[in-house]
Amino acid sequence: MQRKCVFLDRDGVLNRERGDYTYTLEDFEVLPGVPEALALLKQNGYLLVVVTNQGGIAKGLYTRADVMACHQKLQESCGHLIDALYYAPSHPNYSASLSRKPDSLMLERAMARYSINPVQSWMVGDSHRDLEAAEKVGIRSIIVGDKYATGSYTWQVNDLWEAAQVIVGKV
């Protein structure tokens, strides 16, 4: 049986986008409405999978342990609702990687591991590269925030709570 999933970018969707790398617990701030949005998606039968580029590891700015500590804080803040967290430690200036969005290997790995049906799944991101990765594997997407001009995407909403409303069909 195939399952439905919501893939989630991290910075700018789940936690506050700082414009710089977010890797310390002090700077890692879960956005308002995120725990409620994740709970709504979970109640509606969606797997929740985070897919995040973490190029600062390749740059030597922070470590895998820093990323894992932030992910632990995220899980604790959201009632451990997230089923899996994938991150791409590479950066194009340092090392090539098909995992790094806009490539789709993180999504493909999760789809294979959890038997995810792309037709029933979504990607919620805040950048073009998130949506490009979703398109490569046939997943619908929603962009959150106001980084891009309104109207250029099928779904553009303010935050994850609004995205969750669209996904579960309440909009």
CATH code of the domain containing 97: 3.40.50.1000
Tell me how far the alpha carbon of residue 111 is from its chain's centroid. 14
Catalytic residues: 9, 11
Least confident of 42-46, 102-106, 120-124, 143-147: 143-147
Region of 7 (left: φ > 0; alpha: ψ -120 to 50; beta: rest) is beta
| pTM as predicted | 0.94
Residue 104 — φ and ψ, nearest 5°?
A: -120, 15
Provide the number of structural domains found in the chain: 1
Q: Which domain holds residue 163?
A: 5-167
d(C-alpha 75, C-alpha 52), whole Å? 15
pLDDT digits (tens, 9 = 90+) for 18-54: 888 999 999 999 999 999 999 999 999 999 999 999 9
